[in-house]
Amino acid sequence: MNYTLVHQHEVQQEFFSQHQVTLFTIHLTIGKEQRNVAIISDYMEHTTVFVHCAQKVLTQFIKKNFPLVRKINYVSDGACAHFKNNVSILNLIHHKIDFDLDACWTFTATEHGKGAGNGIGAILKPSARSATLSTNILMSNAKDFYEFTQKQQLETARRSNKDIPGVHGFFLESDEIEEAKNSYLKARSEKLRTTDTLHGIRTKHEFKPISNSTIQYSLTSRSTHIRTFTFK
């Protein structure tokens, strides 16, 4: 999701040149523990490259705070631009190599429904807008939004006598994303031009890597009819 930065006292021309922020929200469930994560970035392309870099941030957070975790089950809708496509599935196959954690991916129906991740955005965006319009706090770029979010979440936790913030914020630099893209992700995705791809991917909802080149997939997470596909 995006957030548009506005100023309390802005000239009319500012309306036509407003800056935006990428806000990637994640709700984590680890046993009985739950955490909310918000990855804030100045990178405005919603692609598999961005998702991969966000996964790097997420896996580092998990390994630091929950070192016993060995596998991640991603659950998301089937947005085809950045989640449910062959490049994303190819990255899923490399998840163990890239992040040293096993992973599988469960896709829900693609719709306009709201989940826990959307609730994180519903907390952060109004808080920033209220502060901007009522207390003269100036946010001109993504880094400003990130710093405000960090401070606001820590202060809220402190007032509630909590040890951890309600939302863990991270800043993901666009330069870091471009570096990952140019160093290995671009070459990985270009391999799909010369190899077979998984057809009918939008009708499948459960994907699990079983080797460095093969994915196991099924109609739903409980399907007994399971197939495999190998990227050759």
First-to-final CA distance of the chain: 34
**What average pLDDT is seen over the chain?**
89
**Average pLDDT, integer, range 115-135:** 81
Position 133 confidence tier, pLDDT thresholds 50, 70, 90: confident
Cβ–Cβ contacts within 10 Å for residue 55, how many? 21
**Is the pLDDT assigned to residue 225 strictly greater than 80?**
yes
Q: What is the pLDDT of residue 15?
A: 45
Note the Cα 192 to chain centre separation in Å: 23
Q: Give percent of the chain above pLDDT 70.
A: 90
Q: What percentage of the chain reaches a pLDDT higher than 90?
A: 68
Q: Where are the domains of the chain?
A: 2-187
pLDDT digits (tens, 9 = 90+) for 46-76: 899 999 999 999 999 999 999 999 999 999 9
**What pLDDT score does 193 carry?**
87
Only one residue has tokens 């998984």, namely: 198
Tens of pLDDT, residue by residue over 200-224, are 998 999 999 999 999 999 999 899 9
Cα–Cα dist 143/141, whole Å: 6
SS3 readout for 161-212 = CCCCCCCEEEEECHHHHHHHHHHHHHHHHHHHHHCCCCCCHHHCCEEEECCC
CA distance 160 to 162: 5
- How does residue 119 score in pLDDT terms, banded at 50, 70 and 90? confident
- Taking each helix axis from N to C end, the angle separating 142-159 and 116-134, rounded to the nearest 10 degrees, works out to 100
pLDDT of residue 123: 85
Token pair of 172 as six digits: 């993901």
What global pTM score does this model have?
0.89
Measured CA to CA, the distance from residue 162 to residue 199 in angstroms comes to 48
